[in-house]
């Protein structure tokens, strides 16, 4: 019983992760085509391509940003925002909060602050994690489509395997049900025939008496 429950749980999790992998792949390809960072479930994933945040965030570093409330951003936070002038997404540090609530930004390694300010309109998220993560950033930049394809294929294989197991289990249950029904029907017919023979014998005995 426990083994069956675990089997069903593994199957359900495999299907869930397969669907999640497909969605992430779709979102990733769409973001790649639109030159946007990947955004999933309120978190933004991207790779830093420039040296503007050295030595804290290096080129090729992988970053994870969370879409926290804009009003909670403080001086010293690293923020992803969209630059309308340059038509790119930038990761820089908040160096001042202006009277109108906008944020003044600057790359750690840049000599001057950014010309644009960040408002709630072009704000993307606050960086909560960054690092090389085994050079994952550069791998994602250079082999993004290949990675998505490999992930998709792995989960597709797992999904198909689990579906085959589920179908096989369903067939086994159906066969067992049919076999049980046949055995019950056969037993009923045997019992009926036995009762008929018993009745005939009793009738013959009664006639002789």
Residue 91 sits in a domain of what CATH number?
A: 2.10.109.10
87 in a structural domain:
yes
Residue 27 C-beta-side C-alpha neighbours within 13 Å: 16
107 in a structural domain:
yes
Distances (CA, A) of 111 to 52, 114, 117, 122, 133: 9, 10, 16, 23, 28
The fraction of the chain above a pLDDT of 70, given in percent, is 68
202 in a structural domain:
no
Does the pTM surpass 0.85? The reply is: no
CB atoms within 10 A of CB 93: 23
Closest CA to 77 of 124, 40, 43, 140: 124
Place of tokens 């199957």: 11
Domains: count for the chain = 1
pLDDT in tens, 49-82: 788 999 998 887 888 899 999 999 999 999 999 9
Average pLDDT taken over every residue of the chain: 78
- Expressed as residue numbers, the domain containing 84 is 37-133
153 in a structural domain:
no
The fraction of the chain above a pLDDT of 90, given in percent, is 28
57 in a structural domain:
yes
31 in a structural domain:
no
pLDDT in tens, 4-16: 666 666 666 666 6
119 in a structural domain:
yes
pLDDT in tens, 18-40: 666 555 555 555 555 555 677 77
Distant-in-sequence, close-in-space partners of 15: CB < 8 Å, separation ≥ 6: 159, 162
62 in a structural domain:
yes
């Amino acid at each position: 019983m426990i083994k069956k429950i675990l089997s069903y749980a593994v199957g359900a999790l495999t299907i869930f992760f397969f669907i999640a992998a497909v969605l992430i792949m779709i979102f990733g390809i769409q973001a790649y085509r639109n030159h946007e960072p990947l955004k999933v479930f309120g978190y933004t994933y991207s790779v830093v391509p420039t040296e503007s945040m050295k030595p804290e965030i290096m080129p090729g570093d992988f970053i994870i940003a969370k879409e926290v409330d804009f009003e909670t951003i403080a001086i010293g936070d690293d923020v992803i925002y969209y630059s309308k002038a340059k038509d790119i997404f930038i990761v820089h540090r908040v160096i001042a909060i202006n009277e109108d609530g906008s944020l003044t930004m600057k790359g750690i390694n840049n000599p001057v602050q950014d010309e644009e300010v960040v408002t709630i309109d072009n704000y993307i998220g606050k960086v909560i994690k960054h690092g090389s993560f085994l050079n994952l950033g550069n791998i994602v930049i250079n082999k993004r489509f290949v990675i998505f394809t490999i992930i998709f294929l792995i989960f597709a294989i797992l999904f198909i395997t689990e579906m085959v197991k589920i179908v096989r289990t369903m067939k086994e249950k159906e066969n067992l049900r049919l076999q049980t029904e046949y055995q019950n029907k056969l037993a009923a017919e045997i019992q009926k025939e036995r009762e008929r023979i018993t009745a005939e014998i009793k009738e013959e005995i009664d006639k002789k008496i």
